[in-house]
Amino acid sequence: MEMDADLRSVAAARAAADKAFAAYQKFLGTDPAHINAIVDAMARAIEPEAKRLGEMAVEETGYGNVPDKRVKNLFNALSVAEWLRDVTTLGVLWRDDATKICAIGEPMGVVAALVPVTNPTSTIIFKVLSAVKAGNAIVCAPHPRGVQCGVETVRIMADVAEQMGAPKGLIQCLDQVTIQGTGELMRHRRISVVMATGGPAMVRAAYSSGKPTLAVGAGNVPCYVHASKKDELGDVAEQIVTSKAFDYGTACVSEQAVIADQAIARELRHELKLHGAYFMAPMEANRLAKVIFNGPQAMNPDRVGQSPQTLADLAEFSIPPNTRCLVSEESQIGWQRPLSAEKLNPVLAFYEARDEDQGIELSHGIAKFEGWGHSSVIHSNDPDTVARFATVPTGRVLVNTPAIMGGMGYSTDLEPSFMLGTGTWSGSITSDNVTALSLINIKRVAYESRPWRDIYQEYGE
């Protein structure tokens, strides 16, 4: 009798976890220099395949566009891999002769990596490189709409790793995926840690798995443009539009709402239009909101990562052919105005603030509505204003840079990552950019540094 899809997925998850654990046991003790060589080889193997994998991702998921998918893949194969070369994850991490303490990095074990449909290949590249650099095995669980491109990405990397001497099964991808199967993978006794990137339901399931979990939350990223940028608004507008339009808005770290000081708002609108932003009429924005959302906290998955032209057609209004993103003028924050929420497509909200105080207040409101803990952006030449803005409850405060390039660590010196923690603001264990250093256990070797008997003299009666 043929098993149903859930049973096949559960069986595949169990088999993959057991196989990964056996491979991990063989991989334990591998010379870190050899591991570095394996990581480098996997990254090099991805580079010539970056465009093809992007094409597969767009074709299978229907999200985003090929040129930007290619850039995402290359960022992980080049920038992340380059950063990993200079990082020590295994063996002696540091030693302090004065305190007689030495820190030693050891692998966690088998990583269960949940992969989002919005970034089905680039996330796998990032997680595989990071997990193996940390000496772990990894089993990727792609979204059901991104299985084929995920399997192919893992195949490329696993084949190269095995050619370099890594045990077979160290790097795997489930090719039969259901919610039940992914749940079984996370809960499996051989899994040591879960890396969860995806929608709220996936993140909740990961935290409910009973395993240590690195997970991320939604990002409703405010972008405050201060009056001190009045002579640079063309550059600011280019950054905002480029970042929001990137891969048709599939990145949760991209700008979601622009808040402009009244003194420069008119000119910023003009510059945004010159760089491809279309400011919608109120009725157009209302129709678009019904296209993007099925209701409060219910983003329509079929509208994620679609081009501005597709979204405008669905909302039945016309836009210029060079439009890169759609903009809705807003004055309220909350589900009574859905476009003030996170939008995983090339759509921005635009607020005009009467002064700096209101600009920062609106930025706080946006971040706290659907975006606690993720990221925020400020364009300002005034350090005092930046310091005031930095009270926004987000794990990253990005200054004078596009949100996506800054948040993922390309245009800033944040750790390059495709997994951005959101902290306890949104129920995440970390607010850091997750890296291979998040996937090791750190053992401290501590010598006696003061006579132990002194405790009785110091604290005795």
For 132-176, what is each residue's pLDDT tens digit? 999 999 999 999 999 999 999 999 999 999 999 999 999 999 999
Mean per-residue pLDDT for 65-72? 97
Say whether 356 sits in a helix, a strand or coil: helix
CA angle 390, 262, 293 (to 5 degrees): 70
Res 223 pLDDT > 90: yes
State both tokens at 25.
């046991």
Q: How many C-beta atoms surround the C-beta of residue 461 within 10 A? A: 3
State both tokens at 229.
């940028």
Q: How many C-beta atoms surround the C-beta of residue 296 within 10 A? A: 10
Whole-number average pLDDT of the chain: 95
Res 454 pLDDT > 60: yes
What confidence tens digit (pLDDT) does each residue in 81-126 have? 999 999 999 999 999 999 999 999 999 999 999 999 999 999 999 9
CA angle 201, 207, 208 (to 5 degrees): 85
Of the chain, the percentage scoring pLDDT greater than 70 comes to 99
Alpha-carbon gap, residue 398 to 400, rounded angstroms: 7
pLDDT at residue 217, rounded to an integer: 74
Structure confidence at residue 221 as a pLDDT band (50, 70, 90): very high
Query: Is 325 a residue of the active site?
Result: no
Q: Which residues contact 460 (CB under 8 A, 6 or more apart)?
A: none
Say whether 196 sits in a helix, a strand or coil: strand
Mean per-residue pLDDT for 6-31? 96
What confidence tens digit (pLDDT) does each residue in 429-448 have? 889 999 999 999 999 999 99
State both tokens at 329.
């003028």
**Which one of the listed residues 140, 173, 223, 252 is annotated catalytic?**
252
Amino acid at 6: D
pLDDT at residue 36, rounded to an integer: 97
Residues shown for the chain: 461
Report the predicted TM-score, pTM, of the whole model to 2 decimal places.
Answer: 0.95
pLDDT at residue 1, rounded to an integer: 43
